Structure 1
Amino acid sequence: MDTIVLLGTAKMDITPAFPAELQPAHPLRPDAATETVRRLYARVAVFQRKSERGQSHYAVVISADIIYFVDQRIDSLRKQLYERWGIPGEAILLQGTHTHSAPYPGSRFGETFDGPYRPFIELLETAVLQGVELAMANLEPVDAERGSGSCGFATYRRKRENGNIVMAPSDEGPTDPEVTVIRFRKRDGHTKCAFVHYACHPTTTYGNAFSSEFPGVATEQVEAALGNDAVALYLQGCCGDIRPAVVRDGRFYAGSNLEVTRFGCELAAAALEVLSTGMEPLRFVPFEFRCTRVRLPFQSQPTSAELEAHKDKADAWGAWSRILLEHPERNVPFELLRIGYIRLADGLAFLAMNGEAVAEYGLYTKRVFAGKVLPMGYCNGHTTYIPTAAQLKEGGFESYTAFYSSGRPSPYDPSIEQAIKEAILELVEKL
Structure 2
Amino acid sequence: MDTNVLLGTAKMDITPTFPAELQPAHPLRQDAASESVRRLYARVAVFQYTSKRSRPQYAVVVSADIIYFVDQRIDSLRKQLLEQWGIPGEAIVFQGTHTHSAPCPGSRFGEAFDGPYRTFIELLETSIVQGVERAIANLEPVAAERGSGSCGFATNRRKREDGKIVMAPCDEGPTDPEVTVIRFRKRDGREKCVFIHYACHPTTTYDNAFSSEFPGVAVEQVEAALGHDATVFYLQGCCGDIRPAVVRDGRYYAGSNLEVSRYGCELAATVLGVLVSRMEPLRFVPFECRSAQVRLPFLSQPSADELEKHRDKSDGLGTWSRMLLDHPDRNVPYELLWIGYIRLADGLAFLAMNGEVVVEYGLYTKRVFGGKVLPMGYSNGHTTYIPTAAQLKEGGFEAHDVFYASGRPSPYDLSIEQAIKEAIVRLVQQ
Output the CA distance in 2 between the equivalents of 1:376 and 1:68. Answer: 12
Equivalent position SS for 1:208 = coil
Equivalent position SS for 1:22 = coil
Structure 1 partner of 2:251: 251
Structure 2 partner of 1:367: 367
| Superposed displacement of residue 19, structure 1 | 1.5
| Superposed displacement of residue 26, structure 1 | 3.8
Equivalent position SS for 2:313 = coil
Equivalent position SS for 2:290 = strand
Dislocated runs of 4+, deviation >4 Å: none
Output the CA distance in 2 between the equivalents of 1:152 and 1:53. Answer: 47
Structure 1 partner of 2:341: 341
Where do 1:51-200 residues align within 5 Å?
A: 51-53=51-53, 55-200=55-200
- For these two proteins, the number of residue pairs brought into alignment is 429
- CA 1:328–1:134 in structure 2 vs 1: closer, same or farther (change >3 Å)? same
Question: Please, which moves more after superposition, 46-55 or 5-14?
Answer: 46-55
| Superposed displacement of residue 54, structure 1 | 5.8
Structure 1 partner of 2:394: 394
Equivalent position SS for 2:419 = helix
Where do 1:6-25 residues align within 5 Å?
A: 6-25=6-25
Are 1:283 and 2:273 matched, yes or no? Answer: no
| Superposed displacement of residue 163, structure 1 | 0.5
Output the CA distance in 2 between the equivalents of 1:231 and 1:56. Answer: 23
Are 1:417 and 2:417 matched, yes or no? Answer: yes
Where do 1:190-269 residues align within 5 Å?
A: 190-269=190-269
Amino acid at match of 1:193: C
| Superposed displacement of residue 72, structure 1 | 0.3
Contact 2:2 2:142 in 1 (8 A): no
Output the CA distance in 1 between the equivalents of 2:345 and 2:202. Answer: 29
| Superposed displacement of residue 23, structure 1 | 1.4
Structure 2 partner of 1:383: 383
Equivalent position SS for 2:124 = helix
Amino acid at match of 1:302: P
Contact 1:354 1:383 in 2 (8 A): yes
Amino acid at match of 1:147: G
- CA 1:26–1:104 in structure 2 vs 1: closer, same or farther (change >3 Å)? closer
Structure 1 partner of 2:404: 404
Output the CA distance in 1 between the equivalents of 2:172 and 2:412. Answer: 23
Output the CA distance in 1 between the equivalents of 2:344 and 2:63. Answer: 17
Output the CA distance in 1 between the equivalents of 2:362 and 2:24. Answer: 24
Deviations 1:201-256 (A, max 9, x none): 00000111000000000001111111110000000000000000000000000000
| Superposed displacement of residue 177, structure 1 | 0.2
Output the CA distance in 2 between the equivalents of 1:240 and 1:278. Answer: 32
Output the CA distance in 2 between the equivalents of 1:31 and 1:90. Answer: 40
Output the CA distance in 2 between the equivalents of 1:413 and 1:172. Answer: 25
Contact 1:3 1:284 in 2 (8 A): no
Equivalent position SS for 1:203 = coil
Question: Please, which moves more after superposition, 281-290 or 46-55?
Answer: 46-55
Output the CA distance in 1 between the equivalents of 2:165 and 2:26. Answer: 21
Output the CA distance in 1 between the equivalents of 2:241 and 2:52. Answer: 46
Amino acid at match of 1:387: P
Give TM-score scaled by structure 1 length: 0.98
Sequence identity percentage: 80
Output the CA distance in 1 between the equivalents of 2:210 and 2:26. Answer: 14
Where do 1:309-328 residues align within 5 Å?
A: 309-328=309-328
Contact 2:349 2:372 in 1 (8 A): yes
Deviations 1:51-82 (A, max 9, x none): 21362111000000000010001011001001
Contact 1:21 1:31 in 2 (8 A): no
Output the CA distance in 1 between the equivalents of 2:114 and 2:354. Answer: 19
Amino acid at match of 1:23: Q
Output the CA distance in 1 between the equivalents of 2:251 and 2:382. Answer: 28
Contact 2:22 2:102 in 1 (8 A): yes
Equivalent position SS for 1:103 = coil
Equivalent position SS for 2:352 = strand
Q: CA RMSD in A?
A: 1.2
| Superposed displacement of residue 172, structure 1 | 2.2
| Superposed displacement of residue 25, structure 1 | 2.6
Equivalent position SS for 1:101 = coil
Output the CA distance in 2 between the equivalents of 1:53 and 1:338. Answer: 31
Deviations 1:246-303 (A, max 9, x none): 0000000000000000000000000110001000000000000110000000000001
Contact 2:7 2:48 in 1 (8 A): yes
Contact 2:3 2:142 in 1 (8 A): no
Question: Please, which moves more after superposition, 250-259 or 30-39?
Answer: 30-39
Output the CA distance in 2 between the equivalents of 1:26 and 1:344. Answer: 36
Output the CA distance in 1 between the equivalents of 2:365 and 2:17. Answer: 40
Amino acid at match of 2:94: L
